[in-house]
Amino acid sequence: MSRIFVTGMGVISAIGNSVAENHHALKLATCGVRNELDLFPSKYAGILPFGQVQISTDTLQKKLSVTEPGVTRTTMLAMHAFEEAVKDAGISAPDLTSFDTALVGASTVGGMCLTDELYNDANTNHEGSVYTSSYDCASVCMYLQKHYKINGIVNTINTACSSSANAIMYGAMLIKNGFAKRAIVGGSDSLAKFTINGFNALHILSPDKCTPFDENRQGLNLGEGAAFLVLEKEEDINGKKVYAELSGYCNTNDAYHPSSLSEQGDGPFLSMQGALQVANLLPGQIDFINAHGTGTENNDEVESRAMIRLFDKPPAFISTKANIGHTLGAAGAIEAVYSIFSLMHQEVYPNLHFINPIPSTGLIPVQSYKKMAVQHVMSNSFGFGGNCSSLVFSKV
Amino acid sequence: MLYIHQTYCISPQQTLLQANIDLINEPIDKKLLAIEPSYEQIPAGILRRMGKGIRMGVGAALPLIAQTGFINGIIIGSANAGMDDCIKFLNQIVQYEEGQLTPGSFVQSTSNVIAGQLGLISKNKGYNITHVHLGLAFENALIDAMMQLNANPTNSYLLGGVDEISSYHYNIETLAGTYKKESISNKQLYEADSPGCIAGEGATMFIVNADAANAVAKVTAISTLHTINIELVTQQLKIFLQKNVPEGMKIDLLISGENGDNRTLPFYTACESVLVDDTPVVRYKHIIGDYATASATGLWYACQVLQSQILPQHMFKISSTKKESRNILMYNNFKGRQHSFILISGA
């Protein structure tokens, strides 16, 4: 089957509104997580830290010239990243609307960022808002499809926090199987009262800035953002710029618990191992891992254990969730872009706020920016429901 | 291409083990609610905490997984799985003003809860995914299964479509004008000439692999499209048939997703007119209602035809003069915007 290349990228997160801004911020070890939340009223605003994108919903709407009612922040974040990726890949207008251009998105929040509107519509307290068809996770891609007139296969995947890693994988499979010539793949989620209260009820929100892989980590910070990648096959490149090859991918299930990982990390182990097999690589050939690293007690320890099981001595690794928070359905795509930065620039970024290793594993993430040779990078995404996915990107 | 081996269908009609598709259950309170089995394979403690959609999805899948022994992965299409728990949690947030909340509903609110529970209960650590793209959620799951089998031809997968009528989702869809305002019996549905459909629900599961031996049916091709333009739909149908129906082969039966909504009827009529004049047409949404993943149950009816060559008369829009249906086309339209063509034939 054909090799799949990344030819365009777009990203928006708490540390920047573009690929260039995100790259610059990672190099400077920027933490975009702050005790700031002004998107909607919440009792946790100003008390808990969040990775909020530094553009208001109104400004996004103006910038993207969205005039219809009922378009949510989640959708607009997606549009912002989508437009950057499509422009970056130089996809012409006819190519964008051709029957062989696929769009695969992912979201876990969708229009539920409108918690109060949804509450009213679901309980029919009134006539029905302009948002009645905007709540589901598919509403993001449904809008992108209509707005950009996508005629190829369109899909939305929700495997919780591994959603957009699976969107990338599905897009690559569509190309390999001849269902599409090119695929625009990614994910988007915005901060929502719904997820804030959900993770809070599970007692896994950190009261302070999260400290992935640190002994005294206290939980995760929620973030928001979006990223899209353009995937094309090798035969269609014709001298276009190529950022990386998507060389491996694997999706597994931990089959242990609805909201936490098994002690030995079977799901994470199998997804990392499977991705290596698809890429036809040995563990020792992975130079760098962008870990899932949420900063929760359970994830970081289990992920460390799974890395030790597979790699024996794991390669350099970090979690960028200390920079932007956990962006849920967007995390896999945003972190794919960050992983590709390391291939493009032959450098790795620091895992912020780390002090002491987890005693049982002793793993120490990269703590300062440095230049290094990176040929193959792995990106992990794990979610509720036991969903685990790993991607491998390689330097072309 | 993929082969369907086993099927299990929970629907508003008698589609379970001793299927009796001649009987028709009427809508109650404008809803066609699924008839649920006793779910003996779901542990009681877990069953109690499951919403109806999750229960139906898990309950339809476990008997098939048990029969098959081992599957390599779980591929689910569901537009609204977890929606009921999602709103329950939302109500808690608003009512308790973001106080100390219990996380049960939150954990069950993500759409991947059916595939996740299935992985957990059947200890399946393989491929596990949930497609949620509304009226094409099941179609994308089907495409996914085809691609997985292409990459791993010796594997078997559980493939399914599940959606429920939860009271909250029903409210939102009612506000959005999805359902008929008037009460209507199954038999009058297609004569109503009014907007809206009857709400339905169900869970239909299939064991699929690349092995032709003893298969019930094979799915040879699928195509999907988003548009509100009828000409574009018929144009794509013609291309689909040219590409996938070899010279000399005829479509013996069209399984139409017609749902009694006069806003989408023109699409169905236009697609029928693309086929040869005497092509028989059957419809099924007067008996199972309409919902985002109803086409999974449509595919179940296609399997019934291929196995028994018999369908009840109430399903025919254009009667059959043929002895046998070997090649079946399914056309489905969700809310006038999401379209799918699926080609199925005897294995």
Q: Enter the tokens of residue A120.
A: 């009213």
B228 at interface of A, judged by CB pairs closer than 8 A: no
- Residue A124 pLDDT > 80: no
B132 contact A CB<8A? yes
Collect all residues of chain A within an 8 Å Cβ-Cβ radius of residue B146.
177
Strand partners, A382: A388
Q: At what angle do helices A297-311 and A266-279 cross, to 10 degrees?
A: 40
The whole-number pLDDT of residue B18 equals 66
In this prediction, residue A125 has a pLDDT band, given cuts at 50, 70 and 90, of low
Q: What's the average model confidence in pLDDT over A72-94?
A: 97
Interface membership of A240 toward B (CB under 8 Å): no
Question: According to the model, what pLDDT value does residue A97 have?
Answer: 98
Please compute the mean of the pLDDT values over residues A82-105 and round it to a whole number.
Answer: 98
Question: Cβ of B132 and A146 within 8 Å?
Answer: no
Categorize the per-residue pLDDT at B169 as very low, low, confident or very high, splitting at 50, 70 and 90: confident
Closest Cβ opposite residue A137 in set B94, B111, B173:
B111
**Residue B336: DSSP 8-state:** T
Q: What is the pLDDT of residues B137-168, one digit of tens each?
A: 999 999 999 999 999 999 999 999 999 998 88
Which range has the worst mean pLDDT, A212-226, B171-185, B224-238?
Answer: B171-185
**Predicted confidence band of residue B81 (pLDDT cuts 50, 70, 90):** confident
Distance in angstroms (rounded) separating the CA atoms of residues B187 and B169: 26
- Statement: residue A303 has pLDDT above 70: yes
pLDDT at A133 over 80: no
Per-residue confidence at A69, pLDDT binned at 50, 70, 90?
A: confident
The answer to whether residues A289 and A391 touch, using CB atoms and an 8 Å cutoff, is no
A176 contact B CB<8A: yes
Mean pLDDT for A275-303 is: 98
Q: Mean pLDDT, chain A, as a whole number?
A: 95
| Closest Cβ opposite residue A193 in set B93, B133, B150 | B93
Cβ separation of B110 and A386 shorter than 8 Å?
no
pLDDT for res A198:
95
| Cα-to-chain-centroid distance, residue A257 | 22
Over range B295-309, report the average pLDDT: 95
**Do A202 and B103 count as a contact with CB atoms less than 8 A apart?**
yes
Q: Does A200 have pLDDT greater than 90?
A: yes
Residue-level pLDDT at B87: 85
CB contact, 8 Å: B12 with chain A? no
Distance from CA of B49 to the nearest CA of A (A): 13
Predicted confidence (pLDDT) at residue A126 exceeds the cutoff of 70? no
- pTM, two decimal places: 0.97
Residues 36-75 of chain A whose Cβ lies under 8 A from any Cβ of chain B: 42-44
Nearest CA in chain B to A261: B120
B126 shares contact with chain A (CB less than 8 Å): yes
Query: What is the distance in angstroms between the Cα of A240 and the nearest Cα belonging to chain B?
Result: 27
Please write the tens of the pLDDT for every residue from A135-175. 788 999 999 999 999 999 999 999 999 999 999 999 999 99
This complex has an ipTM of 0.97
Q: What pLDDT does residue A196 have? A: 95
Please tell me whether residue B37 adopts helix, strand or coil conformation: coil
Q: Does A114 touch chain B (CB under 8 A)?
A: no
Facing A255 at nearest CB: one of B98, B119, B176? B119
Least reliable range by pLDDT among A310-319, A322-331, B169-178, B261-270: B169-178
Mean pLDDT over residues A63-87, rounded? Answer: 95
- B129/A385 Cβ within 8 A: no
Phi/psi region, residue A68 (left: phi>0; alpha: psi -120 to 50; beta: rest), is beta
B340 to chain A, any CB pair closer than 8 A? The answer is no
